[in-house]
Amino acid sequence: MNASPPTNTPPVSSREACGSPTRADSADAIALRELTVHVGRRTLLHIADLTLGRGEFLGILGPNGAGKSTLLRACLGMQRHAQGHITMLGHPVRRDGGGRLTALRRQIGYIPQLLPERSEMPLTVREVVAIGRTGIAGLLRPLRTPDWDIIDAWIERMGLTPLAGRGFGDISGGEQRKTLIARAMVQRPKLLLLDEPSANLDLGWRERIVEIIHTLYEEERLTVVLVCHELEVLPACCRRVVVLDQGRIVADGPPEGVLTDERIAGLYGAGLTVLHQAGRHAVVPVGLTHA
């Protein structure tokens, strides 16, 4: 699969207008040591050791309830009851970090799960995208012409210009995902965190979102962490997968070595097999491979 943008999406090439980040720092993008999240006596997450180098694309895979979203929130300092050592882009993450944590988050684009309540935000597409730029400019400073130029460039880049004045709740789920991607990218992030970016989308929209993520990684020189429970969401540029189960890492390595029939059957049930082709991966019932 190549890194060209999906059908009906403008070419992803306007770096100067949109503002590209650079990979100038050699420190790890993410370093976790003895990270735990407890709620009462229940351990939601325990990560003994996990590092991610700058420029890597990491897929985090696991069934529902495995701790994937909890891990992302902990990395952002958003998860209550998190303990341990978290370093993002060379800076320690603490929930009481105040201004330092705010400054760090400006370097991280975060695309959360699109829950029903978020899909009904009473804002236009352009206003939603502008939220990402407000975090850079500061709440007390109005957005200026250069900010709006970046906002509108990313709206165009995502193919959303005709929808810019539409209500966010009035556009399709796929268009909402592209809006949230644009909102994250106007920050000029060094690190992009995506939580189930294609959940509840049909096959066509899922592939468009996968292609957009692939293109952004290749052309914007990002470090990317993509959380999913479907193998099909991992783009070909994802060359490392961490598998979570019951809050713990059970596998870490190249997709072809990690995503085995035995492991996937253990996570999701027997009678499944994994297909690998051209860097992409899919799970199908065993019988279909012999049809």
DSSP per position, 75-135:
HTT--TTEEEEEEETTEE--TT-THHHHHHHTTEEEE----HHHHT-SSBHHHHHHHHHHH
The 10s digit of each residue's pLDDT in 49-92 is 999 999 999 999 999 999 999 999 999 999 988 999 999 999 99
- Give yes or no for residue 237 having a pLDDT over 80: yes
Query: What is the percentage of the chain residues whose pLDDT exceeds 90?
Result: 72
DSSP character for 11?
Answer: -
- Give yes or no for residue 118 having a pLDDT over 70: no
183 DSSP β-pair partners: none
Domain ranges of the chain: 15-290
Q: Rounded to whole angstroms, how far apart are CA atoms 165 and 83?
A: 43
The 10s digit of each residue's pLDDT in 85-96 is 999 999 999 877
CA separation (Å) from 138 to 34, 78, 142? 34, 20, 8
Model pTM score: 0.87
Which amino acid type is present at position 108? I
Pick the CATH number of 15-290 from 3.40.50.2300, 3.40.50.300, 3.30.470.20, 1.10.287.110: 3.40.50.300
Average pLDDT over residues 2-13: 41
